[in-house]
Amino acid sequence: MKTLLRQSAAASILACALLASPSFAQEQSDTDANDDDFHRTGEIVVTAPYFERLDLLAGTSALSGEDLAQQSRGQIGDTLLSLPGVSATSFTPGSSRPVLRGFQGNRVAVLTDGIGNIDASNTSADHAVTIESLTTERIEVLRGPAVLLFGGQAVGGAVNAIDKRIPRAVPTEAVHIDALAGYGSATDEWSGGASIDVPLASRFVIHADGSYRKSDDLRIGGYQLSPVLRDEILDLADEEEGEGNLDEADELREAAENRGRVPNSAVETWTAGLGTAFIDDGGNLGVSFSIYDTKYGIPGRPGVGHHEEAVSTGEKVAMAEGGEEAVTIGLRQYRADLRGEVETGSGFLEKLTFRAGFADYQHTEFEGDEIGTVFKSQGFEGRAEAVQANRNGWRGASGIQYMSRDFEAIGAEAFVPPNRTRQLGVFTLQEFDLGGVHLEAALRYDRVSQEAQTLGIDRSFNNVSAALGAAYLIGDLKIGINASRTGRAPSVEELFSDGPHIATQAYEIGAPSLRSEKAWNAEIYARYDSTNVDATLTVYSNWFDGFIYEDATGAEEDDLPVFQYFQSDARFWGFEADVSARLGHVGGFDVVLDGVADYTRASISNGGGPVPRIPPLRLLGGLELQSGSVDLRGEVEWSDDQRRNAAFETETSGFTMVNASASWRPFGRNRNISLIASANNLFDVTARRAASFTKDYVSLSGRDFRLTARFSF
């Protein structure tokens, strides 16, 4: 019966998904009808990144304006979940990084305005991404040859958050204000953010922004623990009781019976930023300074003791359920940015652009009130590009990129030694419009140096990446193919780890002899764009030579299973589809049917089995009534079971969620004032994300009523 119900639900949603895709998941232009923010309208915009103006063959999925306001969550991974091919690590409400086509960590580039985010989110799943969507203008998911602009390691793609801190335009008003405020019932979350742009003269702009977000423990629809973990904890309680440890047995049973809430999952985050820019017809120059500060809980896995020495007292503390010390992370990043460009006039080059950022990052893992482990990082990234003028359909950009990072972990869980990373890259992206045929070609060289000072190890890697793309336009239909060969240097964690890593519940051991990971990537797509129907279908495959992954050795260290990094061949393949169909006009409303479908399958060669934490088949279908002042939407999301698991993984049950929303624009669609009411997971189902390390004890949000107000004037 369960299988029959699942198949029936899948068939129903697939009918919607194949007919449509969420309106906010479409490829978007810079002049969205519902976005009159002066940052985007092009009144005096002269600093739009080059890749935004390219007709990217692989397309761009994006969130901006009212859609971004409605989807905004505390972490960027959870914000982007409605886009095709996107999942999230969902470690906790305070830490969630994007997963693209099954890839996560270092295989996905997370960028702020075209350069690295310069935080520690790619070193561990429990580390937050330092991007706040409340003050972000637009978030894009990029794929295809253009991704080589940002590094050969981003085989899954790149996520680029475009903020407003360095102004791109001089407002026509004396003061321009953007504001966003919201409430969410599932975590009793209150959030608000605002930015102000003031022209000091005809060419100078000053900008200030800030945000605050506070939420309590996450409310969920059922038991906190998955059935497998719950049975395991109850068996452990019986063992403790049999040994006469009655208090421990009671604590374990209490943890197993906990439902309705995830303990120690509260979050509090604030940001502040200040920027200024000189903007002129001949170029522009701007700087900004920002602070990101967050404190969030790390839910403990019941039954796992976490006994380490606290730095300040040397006493033993514990992280587990049942009254033991809770672990929280306090994180702060100070960041300075520089952006500029110079128009070169007529000739081969159109302009020269440069972008740089420096960040001082620190986060502390507290065990109760004691300091457990401190992570410190100082990083710099800069890039300069020469943008070519359009010469009879040929245009492009070439440049150089440099990145450096010094990283140190201090404390009992410093599973990575102090290290230094240096990366130098040169790249070019060329685009050719031959009438009905469109071509893209990209080439990149990277030299990466990874040094672990205390170990006396210094590794260097040289990688060449290349990509080709071609598209053929037949009326409203574009058919294309992209192919690339990429190289990724092993990360510091993959090379030098040696210690207990509680985020992954493992004792991790790196492999200093790892070589670069090579990948051959191909995708075929069809994109249809007409007055009433927009549709895209992409089928992709990735073949890896030397895919780097963790696997259990069968040994134990510090009461944790030992996981070591290995290399083997691997293959990923899957598809993405998104469609939006305008069905007609009824009672003053346009009727739009939309949907998304995505799937990834990944295996390690030579008997290695499935790659861990791969999202299953997902279908999302919705029906929307749209008018100038009111939008009404209902949608259903269905996720299949994930039964293709690595040997150390548990299965993930599928789920079906029903969501609804209503948007009201009192002054019409051409004014950025809107009120949004939404109800997510209406039937309060228990759902777990297959890509998450913590899926067995941190489920997704239960029923969540949200109110959002957005203003721009």
Q: Where are the beta strands (DSSP E) in 302-391?
A: 308-309, 316-317, 327-343, 349-367, 370-388
Determine what percent of the chain is predicted with pLDDT higher than 90. 77
The whole-number pLDDT of residue 325 equals: 75
Task: Identify whether the C-beta of residue 357 lies closer than 8 Å to the C-beta of residue 335.
Answer: yes
CATH-assigned architecture of domain 2-224+263-712 = Beta Barrel (2.40)
Domain spans of the chain, in order of start:
2-224+263-712, 225-260
Burial of 165 (0-12, 13-18, 19+ CB in 10 A): buried
Task: Report residue 270's pLDDT band, with 50, 70 and 90 as the boundaries.
Answer: very high
Of the candidates 75, 47, 61, 37, the residue with the CA atom closest to the CA atom of residue 139? 61
The whole-number pLDDT of residue 32 equals: 43
pLDDT at 306 > cutoff 50: no
Q: What is the mean pLDDT of residues 292-299?
A: 97
pLDDT at 617 > cutoff 60: yes
Determine what percent of the chain is predicted with pLDDT higher than 70. 89
pLDDT at 472 > cutoff 60: yes
Two structure tokens written together for 458: 């210094």
C-alpha 610/C-alpha 616 separation (Å) is 12
Task: Report residue 61's pLDDT band, with 50, 70 and 90 as the boundaries.
Answer: confident
Q: Mark 482-502 as b/e (b = at least 16 C-beta within 10 Å).
A: bebbbbbbbbbbbbbbbbbbb
C-alpha 111/C-alpha 162 separation (Å) is 8
| Least confident piece of the model among 197-201, 421-425, 558-562 | 558-562
3-state helix/strand/coil string of 216-257: CCEEEEEECCCHHHHHHHHHHHHHHHHCCCHHHHHHHHHHHH
The whole-number pLDDT of residue 152 equals: 86
Quick one: CA torsion of 29, 33, 39, 43, rounded to 10 degrees? 90
Q: What would the pLDDT profile of 230-265 be if each residue is shown by its tens digit?
A: 999 999 999 999 999 999 999 999 999 999 999 999
Task: Report residue 37's pLDDT band, with 50, 70 and 90 as the boundaries.
Answer: low
Two structure tokens written together for 364: 């502390």
pLDDT at 24 > cutoff 50: no
DSSP 436: S
Task: Report residue 345's pLDDT band, with 50, 70 and 90 as the boundaries.
Answer: confident
Task: Report residue 11's pLDDT band, with 50, 70 and 90 as the boundaries.
Answer: very low
Task: Report residue 166's pLDDT band, with 50, 70 and 90 as the boundaries.
Answer: very high
Task: Identify whether the C-beta of residue 485 lies closer than 8 Å to the C-beta of residue 519.
Answer: yes
Task: Report residue 498's pLDDT band, with 50, 70 and 90 as the boundaries.
Answer: very high
Q: What would the pLDDT profile of 105-127 be if each residue is shown by its tens digit?
A: 999 999 999 999 999 998 899 99
pLDDT at 321 > cutoff 80: no
Task: Identify whether the C-beta of residue 598 lies closer than 8 Å to the C-beta of residue 84.
Answer: yes
Q: What is the mean pLDDT of residues 141-145?
A: 87
Burial of 583 (0-12, 13-18, 19+ CB in 10 A): middle
Task: Identify whether the C-beta of residue 9 lies closer than 8 Å to the C-beta of residue 656.
Answer: yes
- Give bridge partners of residue 276 from the DSSP assignment: 206, 287
Task: Report residue 312's pLDDT band, with 50, 70 and 90 as the boundaries.
Answer: very low
CA 72 vs CA 63, 82, 137, 144, 342: distances in Å: 10, 11, 11, 26, 34
Residues 6+ apart with CB under 8 A from 641: 6, 616, 651, 652, 653, 654
Task: Identify whether the C-beta of residue 166 lies closer than 8 Å to the C-beta of residue 357.
Answer: no
pLDDT at 22 > cutoff 70: no
Task: Identify whether the C-beta of residue 529 lies closer than 8 Å to the C-beta of residue 538.
Answer: no
The whole-number pLDDT of residue 59 equals: 64
Task: Report residue 42's pLDDT band, with 50, 70 and 90 as the boundaries.
Answer: very low
Q: What would the pLDDT profile of 362-381 be if each residue is shown by its tens digit?
A: 999 998 888 989 999 999 99
- Give bridge partners of residue 575 from the DSSP assignment: 539, 599
The whole-number pLDDT of residue 324 equals: 56
Please give the mean pLDDT across all residues of the chain.
88
What is the three-class DSSP state of 319? coil
Of the candidates 322, 326, 256, 332, the residue with the CA atom closest to the CA atom of residue 297? 326
Task: Identify whether the C-beta of residue 399 lies closer than 8 Å to the C-beta of residue 442.
Answer: no
Q: What is the mean pLDDT of residues 432-458?
A: 94
Q: What is the mean pLDDT of residues 403-429?
A: 94
The whole-number pLDDT of residue 323 equals: 46
Q: What would the pLDDT profile of 531-559 be if each residue is shown by its tens digit?
A: 999 999 999 999 999 999 999 888 998 88
Q: What is the mean pLDDT of residues 421-440?
A: 94
Q: Which residue has the higher pLDDT, 61 or 683?
A: 683
Q: What would the pLDDT profile of 521-534 be if each residue is shown by its tens digit?
A: 999 999 999 999 99
Q: Which residue has the higher pLDDT, 676 or 9?
A: 676
Q: Which residue has the higher pLDDT, 593 or 309?
A: 593
The whole-number pLDDT of residue 305 equals: 53
The whole-number pLDDT of residue 60 equals: 78
Q: Which residue has the higher pLDDT, 624 or 58?
A: 624
Q: What would the pLDDT profile of 352-363 be if each residue is shown by its tens digit?
A: 999 999 999 999
